[in-house]
Structure 1
Amino acid sequence: MGQTTRMTVGQALIEFLANQWTVDGDHVERTVPATFGIFGHGNVAGIGQALRQYNETQPDLMPYHQARNEQAMVHQAVGFARMHRRRATYAAAASVGPGAANMLTGAALATANRLPALLLPSDTFATRVADPVLQQLEHPHDLGVQVTDAFRPVSRFFDRVQRPEQLFSIALAAMRVLTDPAETGAVTIALPEDVQAEAVDVPVEFLQRREWRIRRPRPERDALAAAVQAIRDAERPVIVAGGGVLYSGAEDELRAFVEATGIPVGTSQAGGGVLAWDHPQNLGGVGATGTLAANRIAAEADVVIGIGTRYSDFTTASRTVFQHPDVTFVNVNVAPFDAYKHGTQLPVIADAREALVELAEALAGLSVDSGYAERIAREKEAWDAAVDESFAPSGLALPGQPEIIGAVQRASAPEDVVVQAAGSLPGDLHKLWRVRDPLGYHVEYAFSCMGYEIAGGLGAKRGAEASGSDRDVIVMVGDGSYLMLNTELVTAVAEGIKIITIIIQNHGYASIGHLSETVGSERFGTKYRAYDPQARNFQGEDVLPVDLAANARSYGIDTIEIEPGPGSIDQLSEAIARAKASEASTVIHINSDPLIYAPDGAGWWDVPVAEVSTLEATRAARTEYLEQQQAQRPLLGGPAGGDA
């Protein structure tokens, strides 16, 4: 029998986590460098006691951070993980019942984005000695079902420590998934409150340093050869680059590959930053929120080389962007699930960096023809001019969002990080933001979670600081998302973490308002207006007297208000300069006109329209929807319109 030490499950788990290390080539860092926790019954005597004990005896073992909302704890962990290219994340501990349930949205976000987060929700008594306890669910058909069971469908790994001895195998299995590039996401270990505080003889080996090496698989020979042949035979190839390029650290390899071959690149939201915006082969975002340049080139591509992308409906414009009748997909991905998407017969299951190195060697001497190269250059030049025009100050009392983005772009430094998640901003940023740093674009768009922005921005700033960078993090958030989850501004104040938050107020859900118009619902329920008791709706023009700047100021944040007027854009630029010069967090509030849109990128998003309606707007929208749907295809190489 090996040497053991007597400790509680909570203490053993915290000490175990403190000794886990991620190894990625020459890069080594702690996998879980800190823990968030909001304590209540369920974890105050378990994880909470353990964190307090180590804070007293070994303060550097597992640093503890507060949060104001359990969902926000997970968002911060995700923001941190993105900045660390999935090599590290935070743990987040919550109490029984509502505390645990509050983390569900964060768990789904982490899993959807393929980003690691370790969740430690508390559970009710395993012994059921005090059954039912406060905040416990009761199901007559299954008394064992609890809130934590809701984590099963939103986690990449889930288990419950029902006996102290189970901790050892569960913790090791959880770490495997947390550090697996093909499997990572939300990793959930449910901890009954009595088990957390129960003592167990812990093998010393369990508490010793353990290294988890990130897998970087090379492509299989035959799969690579088939992909190489398809690319050699292509006349108009295009690359769709996703987050996997960044998580692999493959941006240098991608740049070398496209410079050698001339193949153009369109990026997903997660792939923003894989190439500098002004690189000749970078056509910008592709798909529903993509640029006109990327979508025009993609529409004619005969070979699409997906690298590290999960091919969401926004990236494919709901399967309408790739219109070549015999389009072929080469899907390079570390995850087989994503590599086989859209029925490709050319999956390459491999790490993005390793695959790019071998593709470059196998395709040495290949380059696109001069006519295609000239077409790429013309499309990029035209789109860049359209962006310049949308950024130009208009002098309007209420500037449009593109104009605001332009002002933020001009005032920011190349290494600054823009953070966003939901509303109309992700689409506009995907088209317009000129990324100058691999980690400078952080738009959470797999789950597009309203309220992610401030918490995710804090996580991104923590991640930057942990890497030794003092780059500014600029959070751009609409009033709709701000109202969903703004309390982590208090966390910024409490810890002295500097972020710059720009609140763009348009008095409603502007993105869904626009979508509502396109589907014939006439912006119903999307405006922030006073309730009209006669009409029984919120469709009037009586704007609510909500003061979001005062709200931010009440948290102790330095706040700059920009009044509507012809000079508002100049004031915004000055405000950002002041915020960047400050050592403290700053909130900047500006009003915008939600009806001024970014240049059209010719992308489409499949949102079904009611088949029958008494509303003329809906009937007209249905007609247009059916027309757009004709371009939709299964992406299996058959002709457009779905006839394979």
Structure 2
Amino acid sequence: MTGSTIRLTVAQALVRFLAAQHTERDGVQRRLIAGTFGIFGHGNVAGVGQALLQQELADLDGGGDPVMPYVLARNEQGIVHASVAFARMRNRLSTWACTASVGPGSTNMLTGAALATVNRLPVLLLPSDIFATRAPDPVLQQLEYPLGPDVSVNDAFRPLSRYFDRVSRPEQLPAALMGAMRVLTDPVETGAVTVALPQDVQAEAYDWPLELFDPRVWHVARAQPELAALARALEVIRGAQRPLIVAGGGVIYSEATDQLRAFVEATGIPVAETQAGKGSLPYDHPLALGAIGSTGTTAANRIAREADVVVGIGTRYSDFTTASRTAFQHPDVRFVNVNVAAFDAAKHAGVMVVGDARGTIVALTDALEGWSTSDEYRQLARRVGAAWDRTVEAAYHLGHAPLPAQSEVIGAVNESSGPRDVVVCAAGSMPGDLHKLWRTRDPKGYHVEYGFSCMGYEIAGGLGIRMACPDRDVFVMVGDGSYLMLAQELVTAVQEGVKIIVVLVQNHGFASIGALSEELGSQRYGTRYRQRNPQTGRLDGDLLPVDLATNAESLGVRVLRPEGIDEFRKALTDAKASTEPRPVLVHVEVDPLVSAPGSESWWDVPVSEIADLDSTRQARATYEARKVTQRPYL
């Protein structure tokens, strides 16, 4: 240290800087970067790895906890999923950094980067890069691009990141980090933030100004809507006879669920929920219609079809939410869109109200004092909602044998979980069934990644969720297909003493795509886990002799193997009661041919226009009939 500077390597300065960053919203401060997940290789072991070790030993020698804890993971994609799940549970106010080595270590994070950006969730990626000096080129795992020697595999992060920079000289680090923190803490711009670190630059020393490492607070503002925009929105809402609120993830990230409840009780406008917005109202609220769209409830979709005004709050209107633009069929339907991002607020030619969900809901509530929908409309919402709840109850207790239906497994988990416990899922048939059937009681009780619907998110995400909220049990719902994609972070959970309850639903294949394949006339082709049949030459032989429960047990997980729904319920009770600090996996076989109740809705997946197969031709006829109901919402 000399005067007002301190001599550190680039990696040491990076770690020290990250440990001093905080967010603040509504007067509450939090650590922005809670820690670092990583896997070391030749690209980062002597740079970021050395810096994390040095910081950890200094903190421990000083009698404290590490200010930048490090968690050794097993898969680079998994560490991004865990960090994103952590950020979602912390309402985007805190996340983790992810470090990986050159080449495949770093590119393994690409899928996670896409997931974070699609879902507008903050994560800091620190991929190691090739030598900035190019002295030993080409190094191990280097892509040689003849038209640009400065291009590396890390340039693939550019279109997947909300911010990208490469630190090729120490002097560039402060500006890169400031830019990264700005985007991580901006609810409009946030997503994957990538700072690529050449391996030689990581180890290079530099004299840093001390003020770079002062504690820094990034204020997360609540943007207030323009008064003229509010007035336009109020005019549309006051003219509505059958309005509907579509609550998206922005309601929950803004911590606006109490305000939403007060708003709907004052105005009588019923609420339908997107995947990210599920939990905006408790499932049993009289104006809660549940899930909307292709994976929605018949209650929400009936009201949506007849709605003359749709008030979207914090939603990006994905194709599942709008049932591929067939959900809203009123000939004169209008949209009022409340969103922090103008990009989303402008969708469907809606009246744009750009602002924070909580503040805007309060402003709308105050301005609409004395205005309400009719008693008849409130009663209609209550009736259709109650009818759907009876459908859910029946699906929870079908009594299907010998193997239970997936809906019965969902019901058993729901009834075994506590009000604040969290269910997590991402891909397969389970997200759609959960969206319809899960009875959410807490705004953070439902965690389904359905922006990217990434197979393999579930277990890594469950780890991040439990690290974010150690006082909640986390139920990871995962099918055999997703389990085989990415189960390695079970080892990380064992290592860190993190208890998650993994419900492994075994249906011997990609059941959701199998059902979709059948619906589209492709006869479940290529979706069943079967051996190659020597007689037919096709994958229609015996079930694969794969035991995923034993696989999990070999990773250090406690495994329960119930048979039938009654034993499954007992196993869930056992798993929840366990105080052992390690994951528990409950393996259950289900009948993949028993579907959940239908949504009376549609999803646009094109069918072959010409085909030799009768099944495909019939599916095409159905497709064309549904396609004509699609609307541009202009």
TM-score under structure 1 length normalisation: 0.96
Contact kept in structure 2, 1:36 and 1:65, CA below 8 Å? yes
2:247 aligns with one of 234, 241, 247: 241
Take 2:103 and 2:424, find their aligned partners in 1: how far apart are those partners? 31
CA shift for structure 1 position 378: 1.3
Candidates 622, 625, 638, aligned match of 2:623: 625
Letter paired with 1:144: D
Given residue 523 of structure 2, which amino acid in structure 1 is its aligned partner?
A: E
Query: Which deviations, in whole Å up to 9, do the C-alpha atoms of 1:16-65 show, x marking residues without a partner?
Result: 00000000112110000100110001111111010000011124221111
Q: How far does residue 395 in structure 1 lie from its aligned partner after superposition? A: 4.6
Equivalent residue for 1:92, pick from 98, 109, 122: 98
What is the alpha-carbon distance in structure 2 between the residues aligned to residue 354 and residue 27 of structure 1? 17
Residue aligning to 1:384: 389
1:411-426 matched pairs, under 5 angstroms: 411-426=416-431
| Corresponding letter in the other structure for 1:371 | E
Q: Which whole-Å CA distance do the structure 2 matches of 1:218 and 1:625 have between them? A: 43
Offset of residue 2 of structure 1: 7.9
Q: Distance in 2 between matches of 1:524 and 1:463?
A: 40
Corresponding position of 1:640: none
Aligned pair partner of 2:221 in 215, 223, 228: 215
Which residue of structure 2 aligns with residue 559 of structure 1? 559
Deviations, residues 197-256 of structure 1 (Å, cap 9, x unaligned): 111111111111000011211110100000011000000000000000011000000000
Alignment-mate amino acid for residue 492 of structure 2:
T
Give every structure 1 segment of 4 or more consecutive aligned residues whose post-TM-superposition deviation is greater than 3 Å. Answer: 533-536
Query: Could you give the per-residue CA deviations for residues 381-410 of structure 1, whole angstroms, max 9, x where no partner exists?
Result: 110111111111415111111111011111
Aligned to 2:575: 579
**Contact 2:532–2:541 (8 Å) recurs in 1:** no
Task: Map Cα deviations across residues 277-318 of structure 1 (whole Å, 9 max, x no partner).
Answer: 001111000011000000000010000000000110000010
8 A Cα contact 1:525 1:537, kept in partner: no
Question: 1:393, 1:569 within 8 Å by CA — same for their partners in 2?
Answer: no
**Displacement of 1:533:** 4.2
Q: Where in structure 2 are the equivalents of 1:96-115 lying within 5 Å?
A: 96-115=102-121
Structure 2 residue matching 1:93: 3-state secondary structure: strand
1:391–1:403 Cα contact (<8 Å) kept: yes
CA contact under 8 A between 1:22 and 1:31: conserved in structure 2? yes
Q: Take 2:336 and 2:106, find their aligned partners in 1: how far apart are those partners? A: 41
Code of the residue aligned with 2:309 in structure 1: it is: V
Are 2:360 and 1:364 equivalent residues in the alignment?
A: no
Tell me how large the CA RMSD over aligned residues is.
1.0
CA distance in 2, matches of 1:215, 1:400: 46
Task: Report the secondary structure of 1:144's partner residue.
Answer: coil
Paired position in structure 1 for 2:543: 543
Give the gaps of 5 or more residues in structure 1. 637-644
CA contact (8 A) 1:35 1:92 kept: yes
Contact 1:2 1:203 in 2 (8 A): no
> Is residue 2:621 matched to residue 1:616?
no
| Matching residue's letter, 2:10 | V
* Counterpart position of 1:400: 405
Query: Does structure 2 retain, via aligned residues, the 8 Å contact 1:164–1:195?
Result: yes
How far residue 3 of structure 1 moved from its aligned partner, in angstroms, is 1.5
1:446-490: CA deviations, max 9, x gaps? 00000000000000000002xxxx110000000000000011111
Distance in 2, Cα, partners of 1:425 & 1:541: 26
Q: Which residue of 1 aligns with 2:63?
A: none
Matched, 1:71 2:71: no
**Is 1:316 equivalent to 2:322 in the alignment?**
yes
Q: Match for 1:576: what amino acid?
A: L
CA offset digits 1:359-379 (Å, max 9, x no partner):
001111111112211211111
Q: What SS does the corresponding residue of 1:504 show, helix, strand or coil?
A: strand
**Counterparts of residues 470-619 of structure 1 (less than 5 Å):** 470-538=471-539, 540-563=540-563, 568-584=564-580, 585-619=583-617
SS of aligned partner of 1:34: strand
Residue 341 in 1 paired to residue 339 in 2? no
The 5-angstrom pairing of residues 249-268 of structure 1 reads 249-268=255-274
**Displacement after TM superposition at 1:537 (Å):** 2.7
CA distance in 2, matches of 1:541, 1:508: 13
Q: How many pairs align?
A: 626
Q: Distance in 1 between matches of 2:184 and 2:376?
A: 46
Out of 350, 356, 362, the residue aligned to residue 351 of structure 1 is: 356
Tell me the CA shift for residue 535 of structure 1.
3.5
Q: Give 1:528's aligned amino acid.
A: Y
Q: What's the offset of the Cα at 1:517?
A: 0.9
Report the equivalent of 1:196: 202
When residues 395 and 325 of structure 1 are mapped into structure 2, their CA distance, relative to the original with a 3 A threshold, is closer
1:454 aligned to 2:455?
no
Shift of 1:532: 2.5
Question: Quick check: 247-256 or 597-606, which moved more?
Answer: 597-606
1:24 aligned partner: 25
User: Distance in 2 between the 1:217 and 1:342 partners?
Assistant: 22
For 1:318 and 1:395, locate their aligned partners in 2 and report how far apart those are by CA, in whole Å: 33
> What residue number does 1:10 align with?
11
> Structure 2: how far apart are the matches of 1:96 and 1:294?
48
SS at match of 1:374: helix
Q: Which amino acid aligns with 2:12?
A: Q
Report the AA paired with residue 40 of structure 2: F
Matches of 2:256 and 2:380, distance apart in 1: 26
Q: Which amino acid aligns with 2:567?
A: Q
CA deviation map 1:532-553 (0-9, x unaligned) = 3454431x14111110110011
Task: Label 1:262 to 1:3 Cα distance change in 2 as closer, same or farther (>3 A).
Answer: same
Contact 1:273 1:440 in 2 (8 A): yes
Aligned equivalents of 1:73 and 1:541: distance in 2? 37
Deviation of the 1:343 alpha carbon: 2.3
Q: State the Cα deviation string for residues 307-351 of structure 1 (Å, max 9, x = none).
A: 00011000001000000111101010001111111222x011000
What secondary structure is seen at the aligned counterpart in 1 of 2:208? strand
What residue identity is the alignment partner of 1:492? A
1:42 is the counterpart of 2:47: no
Deviation, structure 1 residue 615:
1.1
Letter in 2 for 1:289: T
Indicate conservation of the 8 Å contact 1:116/1:186, yes or no.
Answer: yes
What residue number does 1:642 align with? none
Deviations 1:142-200 (A, max 9, x none): 22211110001111111100111000001000000000000101000000000111111
Q: Which residue of 2 aligns with 1:641?
A: none
CA contact (8 A) 2:533 2:541 kept: no
Q: Point out where structure 2 has 5 or more consecutive residues left out of the alignment.
A: 61-65
Choose the corresponding residue for 1:166, options 145, 160, 172.
172
- Tell me, in whole angstroms, the C-alpha distance in 2 between the residues paired with 1:45 and 1:139: 26
- In the aligned structure 2, how far is the partner of 1:413 from the partner of 1:592? 24
C-alpha contact 2:553 2:559 (8 A) present in aligned 1: yes
Say if 1:162 and 1:304 are closer, same or farther in 2 by CA, change over 3 A.
Answer: same
CA–CA separation in structure 1 for the residues paired with 2:359 and 2:560: 47
Paired-residue identity, %: 61
Q: Deviations over 1:61-81 (max 9, x none)?
A: 211111100000000001101
Contact 1:244 1:352 in 2 (8 A): yes
In the aligned structure 2, how far is the partner of 1:299 from the partner of 1:67? 47
Q: Which amino acid aligns with 2:385?
A: K
